Amino acid sequence: MTIEIRPNASAEVPGTEGYVDDAELLIPRYESVNPSEKYRAVTHLFPKVPSLVLDVGAGTGVDAAWFAQAGHQVLAVEPVSAFREAGIRLHPSPQIEWLEDSLPRLSGVVHRKKLFDVVLVSSVWNHLARDERGVAIAALGTLLAPGGVLIISLRHGPSPSNRRVFEVPIDETVNLASNHQLMLIASAETASVQLLNKQAGVNWSWLAFKN
């Protein structure tokens, strides 16, 4: 009998459970979302001049491509290779660099010693356990340029059973951030713009922080 050992991102990166198996299904779903609709509640906080954007858990790079089209330079960080490869194929742009790295430590990004004007953590935070969120907020704080903005979205409502998803309280996130000199400057509640999530009753809290 032969036992097949498949490479499994979930064994390596906490939070990616289920994504490798579902990648084919998820890629068109991610691509169907319009970032200008998704980010409506916080768009006014984005820089009007070309800036450096860090997109953490970038999926297939829809958001990265939207920022690149607006003139920004984007570092798209994504641990799941199927998403990175789809992103490189679907959104080729000299203004997007892809990097395999992950929360909570983002060691590869931190190692570069670059600061970012916008740090996006969209639809990723709920994949981290409480202790990982503590480590992650510290790393994100060190990557934010003075006057930059950190955007974190929190998912509320049902989630697929094969993912690792935690319910994350808003006040916990605000307190964690303030421990690292990241002050809440805006918050909003929105319904999901992704059709299946919207039909399932998924809602989002959008939190914006400055240092």
Ligand X SMILES: C[S@@+](CC[C@H](N)C(=O)[O-])C[C@H]1O[C@@H](n2cnc3c(N)ncnc32)[C@H](O)[C@@H]1O
| Site for ligand X, rule CB under 6 A | 13-16, 19, 30, 56-59, 63, 78-80, 83, 102-103, 122-124, 127
**Of 183 and 193, which CB lies nearer to ligand X in the complex structure?**
193
**Of 63 and 117, which CB lies nearer to ligand X in the complex structure?**
63
Q: CA nearest 180: which of 132, 130, 141?
A: 141
Residue 2 beta carbon to ligand X: minimum distance, rounded to whole angstroms: 29
With contact defined as beta carbons under 8 Å apart, do 38 and 191 qualify? no
| CA atoms of 126 and 68, how far apart (whole Å) | 26
Residue 29 beta carbon to ligand X: minimum distance, rounded to whole angstroms: 9
What is the token pair recorded at 191?
Answer: 């319904």
Residue 82 beta carbon to ligand X: minimum distance, rounded to whole angstroms: 9
**Of 52 and 193, which CB lies nearer to ligand X in the complex structure?**
193
First-to-final CA distance of the chain: 57
**Of 53 and 80, which CB lies nearer to ligand X in the complex structure?**
80
What is the token pair recorded at 92?
Answer: 């080729």
Count of all residues that appear for the chain in the document: 211
DSSP for residue 11: H
Residue 1 beta carbon to ligand X: minimum distance, rounded to whole angstroms: 32
